[in-house]
Structure 1
Amino acid sequence: MNVLIIEDEPAAAENLKYILKEIEPSITFETVIDTVVDAIDFFNSPHNIELAFFDIHLADGISFEIFEKAQVNSPIIFTTAYDEYAIKAFKVNSIDYLLKPIDEDELKNAINKYKTSKQTTSLPKQFQQVLQMLNIEKRTFKSTYLVQQRDTFIPLSVNEIAYFTIDTGIVKAISFDEKEYNISEKLEDIETQINPDEFFRVNRQFIVHRKAIKNLQLYFNGKLILNLEPKPTEQIVVSKAKAPQLKKWIY
């Protein structure tokens, strides 16, 4: 099987190639493309790829733009780091996708589906509709959480929160002035409610504000240690798969 990868993050592309080889050792890679422009040139030229992986956000635009200027006939699996809100757009429009960081079992299922069907993915004609759903600038985000202090409820501005964390099943918001508040929301729900330009889900236990990040430290096996201010009670480890996304988000 000859595969094309369209991905602008080198570490993510290498990780995808590694997992694909683990699943299907016979896979060959045509190339890795990191821009919309180069992808258009590729599909407008003769090629023999059998399957393509498209990242959504590329260095020079959105990968959906490729279909406006090139004829893409190969099956496609989109890879995306978008939250559940955006994933609904893919489900509604019958687009195959994998959520980053790529899970090996999900990737294996996608490959098996491709082998079974051997058919070109049915791409939606209404790309603009999907783009609108993915356009986070048009979304509104939660600005305040109502938190309880003894017998009083007070509004807590999201701008005051350094990070959200979960401790023994209880979700807490830690403010920049080191105060702690219990939040009656699941961490998964909070992730979809707040602005992803300001907050990042670094692991299962923490969602951190950009301004709370003090520095990143190299850890073993490609992982990172994330140091925050104010300092949390436990060490925050960022996985090898998540580390490139975090660095890209910060810079």
Structure 2
Amino acid sequence: MKALIIEDEKAAVRNLEALLGEVAPDTKIICTLDSITDSVAWFEANPAPDVVFMDIHLADGSAFEIFEHVRVGCPVIFTTAYDEYALKAFKVNSIDYLLKPIGAADLRRALDKLEGLRHTAPTQESLSALIGQLQRREHYKTHFLIPFKGDKLLPLAVEQVQYFCIADGVTKAVVSDRERYTVPCTLDELADSLDPERFFRVNRQYLIARSAVQDIDLWFNNRLAINLKVPTDGKVLVSKLRVNEFKSWFAGR
């Protein structure tokens, strides 16, 4: 498989190259570009690759501008730190939309989808389902405005949150520096408004981010005890009934 990478962050390029080496070692990266100008020129002068991995925010603007200047006749997998462009990405022959930091499971799932599309033409039903999925993703909550010091509102991005928990009867958002902020909604409301690919309700007291998990202990009675990167006040236990669901969620299946 021949792949083109359009990405202006060198660290992100190295990470993607390493993941491709792990997940799809037969992939040949034919070129790496970091701007709209270079990308347009490349597509005008070269045959289309099998797939393009494309960041949205490039050195000289939005990657969507590429499609305004040249026809991209191959599947595109967007790789970005922002989740608000999913529906727009679908309109320019994107087959998947991976949020940074990208994990091996995310990349493997996208490449499996690419392989599937090679053998089956998408039906109207499957296209409608995909549009619906992307529209739902666009409506997941991405930021909070947190009351702070009486007369201020503090912007808090969802991606900063390691976990939400109930403490002293109120909902707290805990971030990587161990700061806690009171969130004016319940865990049930949060579970309904946050992207379920990123957050999991492990029990009545905790809603955790996948990226916050440090390791997992096998616990009594076939349960799991999750150790988070930001320490908690007590054990974060997954009930026996939710263990399989948690494992599937964490593995990205």
Q: What is the 5 A alignment of 1:34-45?
A: 34-45=34-45
Residue 6 of structure 1 contacts residue 32 of structure 1 at CA under 8 Å; is this kept in 2?
yes
TM-align CA RMSD: 4.5
2:10 maps to 10
User: What's the secondary structure of 2:30's corresponding residue?
Assistant: strand
Cα 1:106/1:91, change in 2 over 3 Å = same
Q: Kindly state the Cα deviation for residue 116 of structure 1 after the two structures are TM-superposed.
A: 2.4
Q: Which runs of 4+ in 1 moved over 4 A?
A: 88-94, 141-144, 163-171, 178-183, 185-192
Normalised by the size of structure 2, how large is the TM-score?
Answer: 0.53
1:62 maps to 62
Cα 1:18/1:66, change in 2 over 3 Å = same
User: What's the secondary structure of 1:79's corresponding residue?
Assistant: strand
Query: Structure 1 stretch 100-109 or stretch 57-66: which is displaced more?
Result: 100-109
Q: What is the 5 A alignment of 1:65-76?
A: 65-76=65-76
| Corresponding position: 1:184 with 2:224 | no
| Structure ranking higher on relative contact order (CA contacts 8 Å, 6+ apart) | 1
State the one-letter code of the partner of 1:19: L
Q: Distance in 1 between matches of 2:71 and 2:87?
A: 26
2:113 maps to 113
Q: Kindly state the Cα deviation for residue 190 of structure 1 after the two structures are TM-superposed.
A: 9.5
In structure 2, the gaps of 5 or more residues are: 123-134, 136-142, 196-208, 214-228, 233-253
1:157 to 119, 133, 152: 152
Q: Distance in 1 between matches of 2:117 and 2:181?
A: 52
Q: Distance in 2 between matches of 1:49 and 1:112?
A: 17
User: What's the secondary structure of 1:113's corresponding residue?
Assistant: helix
Cα 1:33/1:168, change in 2 over 3 Å = same
Residue 165 of structure 1 contacts residue 172 of structure 1 at CA under 8 Å; is this kept in 2?
no
| Corresponding position: 1:87 with 2:86 | yes
Cα 1:233/1:103, change in 2 over 3 Å = closer
Q: Distance in 1 between matches of 2:102 and 2:180?
A: 36
User: What's the secondary structure of 1:158's corresponding residue?
Assistant: strand
Q: Distance in 1 between matches of 2:193 and 2:151?
A: 14
State the one-letter code of the partner of 1:87: A
Residue 54 of structure 2 contacts residue 79 of structure 2 at CA under 8 Å; is this kept in 1?
yes
Give the number of aligned pairs. Answer: 174
Cα 1:87/1:117, change in 2 over 3 Å = closer
In structure 1, the gaps of 5 or more residues are: 123-132, 134-140, 148-153, 193-200, 206-224, 226-231, 235-251
2:245 maps to none
Q: Kindly state the Cα deviation for residue 91 of structure 1 after the two structures are TM-superposed.
A: 6.0
1:31 maps to 31
Cα 1:3/1:101, change in 2 over 3 Å = same
Q: Distance in 2 between matches of 1:66 and 1:91?
A: 15
Q: Kindly state the Cα deviation for residue 156 of structure 1 after the two structures are TM-superposed.
A: 5.7
Q: Kindly state the Cα deviation for residue 104 of structure 1 after the two structures are TM-superposed.
A: 1.4
